[in-house]
Amino acid sequence: MQFDTKFAIVVADDLPTWQKLNVVSFLSGGVTQTPQVTTGQTYCDASGQGYLPLCVQPIIVLKANRDKLSTFVQRANRQQVDTAIFIDDMFQSGNDEANRKTVYQYETSQLPLVGIAMFGDKTLVDKVFKGAKLHD
C-alpha cells in the first residue's frame, strides 16, 4: 500500500541502543496522539484475546548526527510542521512534567536533541529530514 503521508523518526546516531529504543518509543507515542495519525482496529487472536490497535502506516526510523537534528527541527519549525522532540536531559528527568521543564530551559537553537519525529505529507517530511540515513 502506498501512502501520501510519512511517519518518520530520526535518532542521534551516537546513542547506545537502549537509548535509541527509548527515544523511538517516546516519540512514536507522541506523534500517534495527533489527530492526523490513523490507527487501525483492535487485533484479536484465534483464542478471542484482544490487543490494542496499531498505527496503520509504517514508521520509518532514521539516524543522523546531533548537528543534523538541530537542522531538522529548524526546518520543521520554518515549515510550521508539528514535531515531537526528545532531548538528552530527558534520560535523567524521570517524568513528563520534568521532561517539559528541562526542554523549557533551552532556546530552540540550543536544544540538545537526540530525537525528532513528525508525521505529514511525504514530500514535506522528506524535505525536513533531508540528509538523514535509514537506521540499520
Give 5-56 pLDDT, tens digit per residue.
999 999 999 999 999 999 999 999 999 888 888 888 999 999 999 999 999 9
The model's pLDDT over 122-133, given as tens digits with 9 standing for 90+, comes to 999 999 999 999
Cα distance between residue 119 and residue 115, in whole Å: 14
Model confidence at 1: pLDDT above 80: no
More confident residue, 134 or 94: 134
Q: What is the CATH classification number for the domain harbouring 61? A: 3.40.1490.10
Phi, psi of 108 (to 5 degrees): -50, -45
% the chain with pLDDT above 70:
100
Among 52, 54, 25, 51, CA closest to 37: 54
Q: What is the mean pLDDT of the chain?
A: 95
CB 15 within 8 A of CB 87: no
| Cell numbers linked to 125 | 517530511
Residue 51: give the domain boundaries: 5-134
Q: How many independent structural domains does the chain possess?
A: 1
pLDDT at 65 over 90: yes
